[in-house]
A and B are shown apart, each in its own frame.
Chain A
Amino acid sequence: MTNRSSPTARYADILNDSPELETVVHALDRDLTVAYTADAPLSVETAIGRLVAEQRPSRRRLLPPTPFPSRLVLACALVATIVLAAAVYLVVPVAERAFYTDAGSENVLTNGLATQLGLSQTQDGYTVTLQKAYADLNRVVVDYTIQRPGGEPFNDFARLARGRFQSTLTDASGAVLPPMAGAYVQGGAVLNNFDDSATRGTLATISLRLSIPLLEALGQSGASPFVFRFDVPVQPGRIVNPNLAVIAGGRTLILQRVVVTPSETRIYLAGLNGTGLFPHLTVDGYDSNHVSIHGWSPTEGGGSIWSIRPIGGGRVVCDFFQSLMAEHGTWTLTITAGPATADGKRVTGGPWVFRFSVP
């Protein structure tokens, strides 16, 4: 797809050779955007989630899913979803609806762990308000709202997403925190998550700088970003260093570190540095293969439930995007490897099964 940052940039391959077409290109872009461009509705997102959920990580290839339910069933499901969403809409403030599929972020917001900031700035009629921020040993969450000139909520997030709109968060040393998940919501609210693992240590409070290039993403090249500076307390978590080694298929995997925080649980493993790994975590009362988020159960699908990725140096990091702060006792982590591929990066062997205690 093309870069959606501004009409001039998007259509440079037309306008560079034919600058006389600039007026018609800009006008057509404007009108077609208003007429037809829209975010895919929730029913499409639900269908994608269902497709993914019905697929098990395959050792051969993806299998065809069962057919979608009839349109009537889909309509009933959509109505039920709308009713549920409407109920949530009535009782949950705008900013907190952002965390619909991110259970960890939802936990830190709805349980009052985030710091209320209420910092506002206005440029060219657009007002950005940094509502809340949250930090722990795994991630930082920022939550802000955007209002159009005139005060109505900004909802044109599809345009921002296509322009690869991304806020930047830096700490007091100038280190950039890597972006993690984010969610746009109706009503002008935006959620951004940033990886906090490399920067915090044992700080009780962190000073942060959030830069939001909204106007530039809307096509005003050279516009200044909205910049907010603020302090956030670092919420406590639990750190366990099991240092357990398990050999399977002739390969050794070491469970080094487990960091449990209100926003998520992050597990560090050493001995492998590839892709195609699938984690499964069970604790008393929790099974990562059977997590339900607002009635949606993307079992084994990853995405909103877990993520596993190599970080170099023969290490991989596994995130479970739910709060397991209340889970104590014996945890069981099973790492399964996918099939080998021609690129040679995919891990073979396993499964590796770790049982360890988390006080």
Chain B
Amino acid sequence: MVVEEFPMSGEQPVEDGDLVRRARTEPAAFGELCRRYSSPLYSYLRARTNNDEDAADLTQQVFLKAMYAFPRYRERGRPFGAWLFRIARNLLTDSRRRQRPSVSWDDVPEAHVPRTKDDLEAQVVAAEAHARVRAALGRLDATQREIVLLRFVAGLTFREIGAVVGKSESSAHRDTLRALRTLQEQYHDQ
């Protein structure tokens, strides 16, 4: 089962902007963009939904929505990755209104205990990490939780995070520092 691919280009990895320009007329380039963000998006959505199936379902919906909206997408001021995550965020809001497959930011996300691993030690380590994450995120407000997940789980830059949540880059940076200082005591001496 293939889980990750390099681009079939024979060249060094290209920037998002180049792929976006190619994707205007080349379906393969759009596919490459989607694959580039599939795992970060899925990871982010795992943290915002109740189970892996909902996360996978929403990830697919993000790409479907993106395909519809792509002709109207303009890169100015919003990088492609931030645009995708913005779509994901809106989908989460919509799905919560309909049937609540996603986790409200009033709650702390449920942990995703790996269900396919036979390794007991790995499960124990994961369960301990989940417990710490639940405790940590529970100390943050909704905006801080989202920013922390976008940074630490999805790997977005502060510029991208700002574009996702509607803040400036410096504001996203500042909120992250504030969240980390809130969590500093919990993680002290670990």
> Which single residue of chain B is at the shortest CB-CB distance from A152?
B119
With contacts A40-B39, A45-B38, A67-B64 known, is A157 near B4, CB below 8 A? Answer: yes
> How far apart sit A184 and B35, CA to CA, in the bound complex (Å)?
13
- Verify B180–A14 contact, CB threshold 8 A: yes
Stretch at the interface among A114-122, A247-255, A302-310: A302-310
Interface 9-residue window, one of A53-61, A126-134, A212-220, A236-244 = A53-61
Residues of A near B64 (CB, < 8 A) are: 47, 51, 65, 67-68
CB nearest to B181 among chain A residues: A21
Residues of B within 8 A of A341 (CB): 21, 24-25
Query: Chain A contacts of B10 at CB under 8 A?
Result: 178-180, 195, 307, 309, 317, 319
**Using Cβ atoms and an 8 Å threshold, which residues of chain B touch A60?**
25
Indicate which residue in B4, B26, B43, B148 contacts A161 across the interface (CB closer than 8 Å). B4
Interface positions of B from 83 to 137, Cβ below 8 Å from A: 109, 111-112, 119, 125-126, 129-130, 132-133, 136
Beta-carbon contacts under 8 Å, B1-36 to A: 1-11, 13, 21-28, 30-32, 34-35
| Pair A40/B38 contact, Cβ less than 8 Å | yes
Q: Which residue of B lies closest to A311 (CB)?
A: B10
Interface residues of A (CB under 8 A from B): 1-2, 4, 10, 13-14, 18, 20-21, 23-25, 27-45, 47-49, 51-53, 55-62, 64-65, 67-68, 71, 74, 85, 97-98, 100-101, 152, 157-158, 161-162, 164, 166, 178-186, 195, 275-276, 300-304, 307, 309, 317, 319, 321, 338-339, 341, 343
Please measure, in the bound complex, the distance between the C-alpha atom of A341 and the C-alpha atom of B25, giving whole angstroms. Answer: 10
Please name the residue on chain B nearest to A345 by beta carbon.
B21
A309:B9 contact, CB within 8 angstroms? yes
Give 20 new A-B contacts, CB below 8 A, not counting A47-B64, A161-B4, A181-B7: A14-B177, A23-B188, A24-B186, A32-B149, A34-B129, A36-B47, A37-B43, A40-B41, A43-B56, A44-B60, A47-B63, A48-B34, A48-B63, A52-B31, A53-B27, A68-B61, A180-B10, A276-B25, A338-B26, A341-B25
Q: In the complex, which residues of chain A have a beta carbon less than 8 angstroms from the beta carbon of B42?
A: 38-41, 44
| A–B complex contacts, Cβ < 8 Å, 12 sampled | A23-B184, A24-B188, A31-B132, A31-B136, A47-B64, A52-B28, A62-B70, A185-B2, A186-B1, A276-B25, A301-B27, A341-B24
> Contact at B132–A58, with CB atoms within 8 Å?
no
Which chain A positions have C-beta within 8 A of B153? 32-33, 36-37
Q: Looking at the complex, which one of A32, A40, A49, A275 makes contact with B152 (CB distance below 8 Å)?
A: A32
List chain B residues, Cβ under 8 A from A23.
184, 187-188, 190
Do the beta carbons of A61 and B67 come within 8 Å of each other? no
Residue of A with least CB distance to B33? A48
Q: Which one, A1, A31, A181, A301, contacts B155 given CB within 8 A?
A: A1
Q: A51 touching B28 by the CB < 8 A rule?
A: no
Q: How large is the interface on B (under 10, 10 to 19, 20 to 34, 35 or more residues)?
A: 35 or more
Chain B residue nearest to A300 in the complex (CB): B27
Q: How far is the CB of B119 from chain A (nearest CB, A)?
A: 7
A61 to B4 alpha-carbon distance, docked (Å): 28
Which of B26, B27, B38, B151 has most A Cβ within 10 Å? Answer: B27
Q: Is B183 an interface residue (CB 8 A)?
A: yes
Closest to A31 in B: B129
Bound-complex Cα distance A52 to B70 (A): 13
Given contacts A64-B67, A303-B31, A339-B25, contact A30 B38 (CB under 8 A): no
B26 contact set on A, CB distance < 8 A: 57, 276, 302, 338
Q: Distance in Å from the Cβ of A190 to the closest Cβ of chain B? A: 10
Task: Point out the residue from B2, B22, B43 that lies within 8 Å of A45, measured CB to CB.
Answer: B2
Whether B5 contacts A183 by the Cβ 8 Å rule is yes
Tell whether A71 pairs with B57 under 8 Å between CB atoms, given A13-B173, A304-B8: yes
Asked if B39 and A28 sit within 8 Å, CB to CB, the answer is no
Which residue in chain A gives the minimum CB-CB distance to B42? A40
Write out the residue numbers on chain B whose beta carbons fall within 8 Å of the beta carbon of A1: 37, 40, 81, 154-157, 160
Q: Name the 8 nearest CB pairs between A and B, nearest first.
A: A302-B28, A55-B27, A52-B31, A40-B38, A34-B129, A40-B42, A182-B6, A36-B47
Chain B residue contacts of A14, Cβ below 8 A: 173, 176-177, 180
Residues of B close to A52: CB separation below 8 A: 27-28, 30-31, 34
- Supposing A57-B27, A181-B8 touch, asked if A158 and B3 sit within 8 A by C-beta, the answer is yes
B160-190 to A contact mask, C-beta < 8 Å, 1/0: 1000000000000100110011011011101
